[in-house]
Amino acid sequence: MTTTETTPRLIAISSGKGGVGKSTVTANIAVAMAQAGLRVGVVDADIYGPSIPGMLGIASAPPAMTPEGRVIPARAHGVRVISMGMLTDDDRPAILRGPMVSKYLQMFVRQVDWGPLDVLLLDLPPGTGDIQLTLAQAFPLSGAVVVSTPQDVSLKIARRGLRMMEQVNVPILGVVENMSGFTCPSCGTVTHIFHQGGGERVAAELGVPFLGRIPLDPSVVDCGDAGRPVVLTAPDSPAATACRDIATKI
Ligand code: ADP
């Protein structure tokens, strides 16, 4: 990836369906980029279901402010982060109408004291609604990454997300296939629980890059729950290797 001194690349990480591992991929890519020496920020744009703080081990606490009244992002594993999860209690839902969500997002990108960054990753909520449109239209996105499992139902909705990004002129950086094959730790047999190769097929069909596949691996769950992404905790695992490889392509 390229870097500039002044303007960070704004990259949206999106998915059609929820639960396909978009936030997990965002957290791992962010840490992998930081490990590679890039200055990385993450905006958790999943206002209603923020999971980035948990995955990066950031406690929900009101963020510090600069003397000028700008929010100072949290820092974890070399990554700067802002999330609704830092502004609300763990159990209290963000009850906000669309225009307020847009305001928060604008604030997260523009009013936060990010300092110099090479890349700002935007972890979008799933789907093609208000938040995705606000971000795509309000900010000069460098591109979008679409995360999907290889399962048909997930890919079908991912296609919609890809088309929405195209319609609002956001370049598609590529498709990530997550939860792609589980290797039995006892016998080494690979089981394709969510089928196989669908992400690559959709990328080819739509003429966008295929960025790679990340295996289904229980340690990804454990590391996410512990707030230390798998690229840190099990750097030699196939999942971590795949995440690092994907990070170099976007
Ligand atoms: P999304 O952001 O798309 O809603 P999450 O990143 O929250 O999805 O992931 C959903 C669940 O799947 C979490 O429990 C996460 O730990 C798990 N998960 C994500 N990717 C993988 C993977 N490659 N292997 C195993 N579990 C995964």
Residue to mutate, 15, 23, 24, 231, ligand 1, most ligand atoms under 8 Å from C-beta: 24
Query: Between 26 and 185, where is the model more confident?
Result: 26
CA angle 206, 213, 120 (to 5 degrees): 80
Residue 196, pLDDT above cutoff 90? no
CATH label, 9-249, candidates 3.40.50.300, 3.40.718.10, 3.30.70.580, 3.10.20.30? 3.40.50.300
pLDDT per residue as tens digits for the range 61-97:
888 899 998 999 999 999 999 998 887 666 666 667 6
Q: Is 103 annotated as a binding residue?
A: no
Residue 4 has what pLDDT? 44
Domain extents in the chain: 9-249
What does the alpha-carbon distance between residue 72 and residue 80 come to, in Å, rounded to a whole number?
A: 9
Which tens digits make up the pLDDT trace of 121-173? 999 988 877 788 888 888 899 999 999 999 888 888 888 888 888 888 999 99
Q: Which of 239, 4, 36 is nearest to 118 (CA)?
A: 4
CA-CA distance, 48 to 101, in Å (whole number)? 9
Q: What is the pLDDT of residue 90?
A: 61
Mean pLDDT, range 223-245, rounded to an integer = 97
Whole-model pTM? 0.94
Ligand 1 centroid distance, CA of 220 (Å): 8
CA atoms within 13 A on the CB side of 200: 7
Closest Cα to residue 45, out of 116, 144, 113? 144
**Residue given tokens 């791992």 in the structure block:** 28
What is the C-alpha to C-alpha distance for residues 131 and 128, in angstroms, rounded to an integer? 8
Alpha-carbon torsion, ordered 108, 112, 118, 120, to 10 deg: -10
ipTM: 0.99
Average pLDDT, the chain: 90
Out of 175, 219, 221, mutate this one to test ligand 1's pocket (max ligand atoms within 8 Å of CB): namely 221
